[in-house]
Amino acid sequence: GDDTITVHDNIVTNASIDMGEGDDTLTSSGDVERGASIDMGDGDNTVNLGADIDNATLTTGSGNDTINIGDDLQSNASVNTGAGDDSVTVTDAIHDHGSLDTGAGDDTVSARQMTTGGSVQTGEGNDSVTIIKWKKILLSIQEAEMIV
């Protein structure tokens, strides 16, 4: 079914959240870090994180997903949105081997900056990727049809 979870702190140390199928919403005011794993499942999901994703994974299945990361995507963290028309906003930086893969669909990605080791991969579709500041990077945006 359609589930809503609100966490008023960090999601840390190998914590695991599995939302299953449905149009789900997850909100956390803190970091997602230290091996934490979030699987939103198939559906039109919304994820609002108040801080970093750091050495953790966030996965959504097929569906039109909205992900808002309140700070950085960093330190071997990964976000994979699956097929669908997805929107991902990173308030600060994608860096230090933080990776984002939006899969197939007409996706929109925005971040304030991308620095060393950050990567964005988009799949088939009419995608828009906006990075405001580039800093000492080897660009690793793949399969984007449109870069703004």
| β-strand pairing of 66-69 with 46-49 | parallel
Looking at per-residue pLDDT, the higher value among 147 and 86 belongs to: 86
Report pLDDT digits (tens) over 93-144: 999 999 999 999 999 999 999 988 888 998 899 999 999 887 765 545 555 5
Kindly list the distances between the CA atom of residue 122 and the CA atoms of 11, 14, 81, 84, 108, in Å, as whole numbers in the listed order. 27, 27, 10, 11, 9
What is residue 35's DSSP assignment?
Answer: T
Phi, psi (5° rounding) for residue 98?
-75, 135
What is the pLDDT averaged over residues 79-99?
96
Cα gap 118→140, rounded to integer Å: 8
Cα gap 106→35, rounded to integer Å: 30
Arithmetic mean of pLDDT over the chain: 92
Q: Per-residue pLDDT for 146 more than 60?
A: no
pTM for the model: 0.92
**Paired tokens of 48:** 């609002």
